[in-house]
């Protein structure tokens, strides 16, 4: 992967080959400016830089977004950005439950105030706006590190009804899958009035979620089936693959009737214009492309299905012969900047601990990427990863493969300050 270069005034220059970057560092003409993404800064000012035009390409996704930087027909840098929308949704759900419980206990006679709140036009849930903010954050960072002159992004709209029924047309769009049926009658008709798991008939049947709601399942008809009380209780919130691991044929039969969740599709639909308008606000020309064109460009060049390769093939600006000059992308995972919850609770919502309002301990902050060289004791070795700080000075380090507990702050040294993301 090419290395970003800044001059002595922190103005971006052309990304350089790693071999040349090593030579500049070895001869003392440059120094390391940033570890992630790896950037060097020259010790001398460049009077007339010969910057070439670069284009940043984005393949927005509900869970993972691909990013690539191209120079003419060469891919110089790429990354895959993993979002944390699911964690944000779960955190907000937990906060809402705690607040509702507290208000019910302490101010149960207070009049409700649900009707005096108004959301502004274009409002998006925090779990969705975080995806847009993550992409914008990295586009702005890359603009400060390289001379990017244009942006390409996918701007797609998924027809969810067409995805479920490719032959739908006309008035059928107004007649949903449940037209003329109550949901229970529909389920009885669809599953032939028998338990989907054991096949028993002439018994009381219950509506059961194929993917349990506690595991992210929805109430869509595609996620519902019928089962007897015994099978429903036996399955619980297990995944259907685990529950029917000894009955592969029955598993295949049920899954053929179940359709995949469209939650990710809805997330892309909801954020596409917000992202597009935000990118246009950066002042650079923005090219848009469809998912079909992206797939056509990628398949034409016999490239595998990966987010960063999809990003490199976005839009009509994709060259005929794309040169991939990198082997692996930078893996970026959004982790957030912590939370402001001062009272920690157990799984039932009861307080069990209270947090300090001091984030930094011994100069370190939770989320910093550090290198710990332990010279003695049971944990002797070298560890690199994100650190979990404690006021006692005994830190935990989450490496790429494991988590090491009880490492003294005396063995730790900085690699990268906490910025809300983890890198690999």
Q: For 196-217, write each residue's pLDDT tens digit.
A: 898 888 888 888 888 888 888 8
Same domain, 250 and 279: no
Residue 102 lies in a domain: no
Instruction: Specify the pLDDT at position 25.
Output: 93
Averaged confidence pLDDT in the chain: 87
Q: Is 283 left (phi over 0), alpha (psi -120 to 50) or beta?
A: left
Residue 58 lies in a domain: yes
Supply the DSSP string of 42-67, one letter for each residue: ESS--SS--PPPEEEEEE--SSEEEE
Same domain, 369 and 387: yes
Same domain, 133 and 282: yes
Work out the pLDDT band at 193, boundaries 50, 70, 90.
confident
Domain assignment of residue 11, given as a range: 3-42
Last residue of a domain, one of 257, 291, 312: 257
Same domain, 388 and 248: no
Residue 144 lies in a domain: yes
Same domain, 296 and 377: no
Give me the percent of the chain exceeding a pLDDT of 90: 36
- The tens digit of pLDDT for each residue in 157-178 reads 666 667 677 777 676 666 666 6
Same domain, 402 and 326: no
What's the average model confidence in pLDDT over 54-75?
92
Instruction: Specify the pLDDT at position 134.
Output: 94
Q: Tell me the CA end-to-end span of the chain in Å, nearest whole number.
A: 13
Q: Does residue 105 surpass a pLDDT of 90?
A: no
Do residues 112 and 100 lie in contact, with contact meaning Cβ atoms separated by under 8 Å?
A: no
- The tens digit of pLDDT for each residue in 336-352 reads 888 778 888 887 778 88
What's the average model confidence in pLDDT over 115-120?
76
Residue 422: closest CA among 55, 84, 77: 84
Instruction: Specify the pLDDT at position 80.
Output: 95
Tokens 């006692």, residue located: 392
Q: Does residue 269 surpass a pLDDT of 80?
A: yes
We report the CATH number of the domain holding residue 419 as 2.30.30
Instruction: Specify the pLDDT at position 171.
Output: 66
Of 183 and 224, more confident: 224
Residue 312: closest CA among 153, 87, 131, 116: 153
Residue 387: closest CA among 355, 348, 350, 413: 413
Domain tally, the chain: 4
Q: Does residue 55 surpass a pLDDT of 70?
A: yes
Whole-angstrom distance, CA of residue 422 vs CA of residue 424: 7
What's the average model confidence in pLDDT over 371-381?
89
Residue 407: phi and psi, rounded to 5, are -100, 125
Same domain, 183 and 273: no
The strand pair at 3-6 and 12-16 is best described as antiparallel
3-class state of residue 275 by DSSP: helix
- The tens digit of pLDDT for each residue in 393-420 reads 999 998 888 899 989 999 999 888 888 8
Instruction: Specify the pLDDT at position 45.
Output: 83
Beta-carbon count within 10 A of 388 CB: 17
Q: Does residue 63 surpass a pLDDT of 80?
A: yes
Residue 136: phi and psi, rounded to 5, are -65, -40
Same domain, 274 and 153: yes
Whole-angstrom distance, CA of residue 236 vs CA of residue 212: 8
Distances, alpha carbon 394 to alpha carbons 1, 329, 343, 360, 364, in Å: 36, 33, 22, 13, 11
When mean pLDDT is compared across 75-89, 166-180, 198-212, 291-305, the lowest value belongs to: 166-180
Highest averaged pLDDT of the listed ranges 109-118, 144-153, 197-206, 209-218: 144-153
CA dihedral 9, 15, 20, 26 (to 10 degrees): 40
Q: What is the pTM of this model?
A: 0.79
Beta-carbon count within 10 A of 246 CB: 7
Same domain, 224 and 253: yes
- The tens digit of pLDDT for each residue in 245-254 reads 888 888 888 8
Same domain, 272 and 395: no
Same domain, 386 and 252: no
């Amino acid at each position: 992967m090419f290395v970003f270069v800044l001059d002595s005034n922190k103005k971006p220059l052309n990304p350089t080959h790693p071999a040349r970057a090593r030579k500049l560092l070895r001869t003392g003409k440059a120094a390391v400016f940033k570890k992630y993404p790896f950037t060097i800064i020259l010790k001398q000012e460049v009077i007339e830089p010969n910057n070439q035009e670069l284009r940043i390409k984005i393949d927005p996704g509900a869970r993972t977004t691909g990013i690539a930087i191209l120079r003419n027909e060469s891919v110089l840098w790429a990354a895959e950005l993993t979002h944390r929308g699911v964690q944000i949704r779960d955190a907000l759900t937990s906060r809402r439950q705690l607040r509702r419980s507290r208000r019910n206990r302490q101010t149960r006679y207070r009049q409700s105030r649900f009707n005096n709140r108004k959301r502004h036009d274009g409002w998006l849930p925090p779990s969705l706006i975080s995806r847009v903010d993550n992409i914008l954050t990295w586009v702005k960072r890359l603009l400060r590190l390289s001379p990017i002159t244009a942006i390409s992004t996918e701007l797609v709209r998924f027809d969810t009804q067409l995805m479920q029924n490719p032959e739908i047309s006309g008035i059928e769009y107004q007649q949903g899958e449940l037209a003329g049926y109550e949901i229970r009658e529909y389920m009885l008709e669809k599953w032939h009035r028998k338990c989907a798991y054991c096949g028993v008939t002439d018994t009381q049947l219950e509506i059961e979620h194929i993917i349990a709601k506690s595991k992210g399942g929805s109430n869509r008809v595609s996620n519902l089936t019928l089962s007897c009380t015994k099978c429903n209780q036996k399955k619980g919130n297990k995944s259907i693959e685990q529950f029917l691991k000894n009955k592969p044929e029955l598993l295949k039969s049920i899954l053929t009737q179940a359709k995949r969740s469209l939650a990710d599709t809805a997330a892309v639909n909801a954020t596409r214009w917000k992202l597009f308008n935000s990118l246009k606000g950066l002042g650079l020309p923005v090219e848009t492309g469809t998912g079909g064109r992206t797939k056509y460009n990628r398949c034409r060049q016999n490239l595998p299905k990966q987010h960063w390769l999809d990003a490199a093939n976005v839009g009509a600006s994709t060259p005929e012969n794309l040169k991939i000059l990198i082997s692996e992308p930078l893996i970026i995972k959004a982790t957030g900047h912590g939370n402001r919850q001062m009272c920690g609770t157990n799984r039932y919502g009861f307080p069990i601990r209270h947090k300090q309002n001091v984030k930094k301990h011994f100069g370190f902050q939770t989320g910093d990427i550090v290198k710990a060289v332990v010279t003695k004791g049971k944990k002797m070795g070298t560890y690199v990863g994100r650190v979990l700080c404690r006021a006692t000075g005994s830190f935990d380090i989450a490496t790429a493969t494991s988590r090491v507990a009880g490492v003294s702050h005396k063995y730790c040294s900085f690699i990268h300050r906490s910025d809300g993301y983890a890198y690999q």
